[in-house]
Amino acid sequence: MIKVRKAGLETSIQDYPGRIGYWNQGFPPSGPMDSWSFRMANVLVGNQPGLAGLECQFLGPTLEFGADTVIAVTGADMRPTLDGEALPMWRSFVVKAGQTLALGAARIGARAYVAIAGGFDNPQMLGSRSTFNKAGVGGIDGHSIQPGQELPVAAAKGTPGMLVPEALRPEIRTDRNWTIEVCAGPNDDWIDAAGQERFLTSAWVLSAKSDRTGFRLEGPEWTFAKKAYDKPKEHGSLPSNIIDHGYPMGAINLAGQTPIVLVNDGPSMGGFINPYTVPSAAFWKLGQAKPGEHLHFQLISVKEAQLIATQIAERCVFANLVQA
């Protein structure tokens, strides 16, 4: 067991790829926002890439270990310490029973990941251990971790002393500017040419009114194609309204004039258009962006998005690690 001394800000158990196959019943995939850093943490300690680990958002937890094990911390720089001594990131370490891991506020990036040999052993719900807070599903008692809780861990030997080379790590921005890949559609034809150009050439600010359901963006107003106005009444009165349809994960959902990127805990359907979609390969960037930072969107093809996803997956294997 691991004892939670401090919970941090919405620290949750997640696994990858999350809760698959239940979105049509109202249960989104959940899982880690930055799955690249998450998978690397697991590989470092000798786990399969998708085993359950911790996602630490903005402010990390303080954890006391009940047994000897192997851990790794990746993702955002929360200046982790072990019994008060600095713990380097992106490498695996032995921790002893009674030692305490503490993560602070994120200095660079937004979300850090903690993997432990064997992974967390909380009960699976609908095929996943991932936490979906808004429905009280997964995690510990359906929610993010709380002070005083004990987190169950599966027994495993682990692999200490391994390091992820810098060339294989995601580049977490320090200049508050992110280039986020998007694919056109499914409703890009509802936006006129000027509106599409404006979206792709503007700096969009990530709003503080964002969470694991949706990332709200602040920027210029949208303009619409003729079909957004010349439509049957059942589509709704606003040009961004459309008859209810399915939403892809990563959809940039246009509610009136407010674009909201639907992320891991987002809805599966609704009555707004989705002019663009952030592919899964770019989700790690969303996961590491902080409110107030600028997002610049770059149009790519579906084939290019698939290639990027494949390249990331090829990096997240044990054979790519080196001795620390």
pLDDT band at 158 (very low <50, low <70, confident <90, very high): very high
**What value does the mean pLDDT of the chain take?**
97
Average confidence (pLDDT) over 167-183: 96
Is there a contact between 150 and 4 (Cβ–Cβ < 8 Å)? yes
Domains delineated in the chain = 2-169 (no CATH), 177-313 (2.40.100.10)
DSSP 273: E
Task: Tell me: pLDDT of 36 over 90.
Answer: yes
Task: Tell me: pLDDT of 324 over 90.
Answer: no
Tokens representing 115 are 């993997």
Average confidence (pLDDT) over 282-294: 97
Q: Render pLDDT for 49-66 as a digit per residue (tens, 0 to 9).
A: 999 999 999 999 999 999
Residue 229 is predicted with a pLDDT of: 96
Average confidence (pLDDT) over 138-145: 95
Q: How many angstroms separate the CA atoms of 264 and 249, rounded?
A: 7
Average confidence (pLDDT) over 168-195: 97
pLDDT band at 17 (very low <50, low <70, confident <90, very high): very high
Provide the sign of the torsion angle of the four alpha carbons 9, 10, 15, 21, taken in this order: negative
Average confidence (pLDDT) over 68-93: 98
Average confidence (pLDDT) over 288-308: 98
pTM of the model: 0.96
Average confidence (pLDDT) over 121-143: 96
Residue 65 is predicted with a pLDDT of: 97
Q: Render pLDDT for 108-122 as a digit per residue (tens, 0 to 9).
A: 999 999 999 999 999
SS3 category, 135: helix
- Helix (H) / strand (E) element for 276: namely strand 269-277
pLDDT band at 155 (very low <50, low <70, confident <90, very high): confident
Average confidence (pLDDT) over 299-308: 98
Tokens representing 10 are 């919405």
Q: Render pLDDT for 4-16 as a digit per residue (tens, 0 to 9).
A: 999 999 999 999 9
Q: What percent of the chain has pLDDT over 70?
A: 100
CA-based nearest residue to 316, from 127, 53, 88, 57: 53
Residue 157 is predicted with a pLDDT of: 92
